[in-house]
Amino acid sequence: MPTDDNIIIADDAVIYPGDLHEDFIRSSGPGGQNVNKVATAVQLRFDAQNATGLSERVRIRTIKLAGQRATKDGVIVIEAGRFRTQEQNRADARARLTALVAKAAEPPPPPRKKTRPSKGAVERRLKSKAGRGTIKKLRGRVESD
């Protein structure tokens, strides 16, 4: 379903407009009477569980990274009310969702290579341990014969 409105993040992560649902709500905070009259904040809902544009790996990581913003049904809710206009808040919410999915779409880090300390390093460590033990022994009470 390629259209201009699609948000393409990676090969296995595309957000289609049909997966997004926006509700405009009243914003909190300062703003005088404007806060009580105008619904400028946006509540963006993204159904990650049923999104067709996400691969299984990205879907699972997106829901995991969303944390408290994800419901039990796998719907991610992002509220944006930083700005005074609906358009700015809508763009902010979409940008935050895009950043979340982009982080989830990153390839996993390469596996850790197991390394061993060199023989000399082990010997130096054991020698310093023995030296510290000797110092601690000498701190004890002096006994006279």
The pLDDT-based confidence of 55 (bands split at 50, 70, 90) is confident
What band does 124 get if pLDDT is binned at 50, 70 and 90? very high
Find the range with the poorest average confidence among 30-44, 67-81, 86-100. Answer: 30-44
- pTM summary value: 0.68
pLDDT bracket for residue 132 (50, 70, 90): very high
pLDDT value at residue 50: 83
pLDDT reported for residue 3:
52
E strand residue ranges, the chain: 7-10, 13-15, 20-25, 41-47, 75-80
Q: How far apart are CA 29 and CA 70, in angstroms?
A: 24
pLDDT value at 1 more than 80: no
φ, ψ (nearest 5 deg) of residue 41: -75, 150
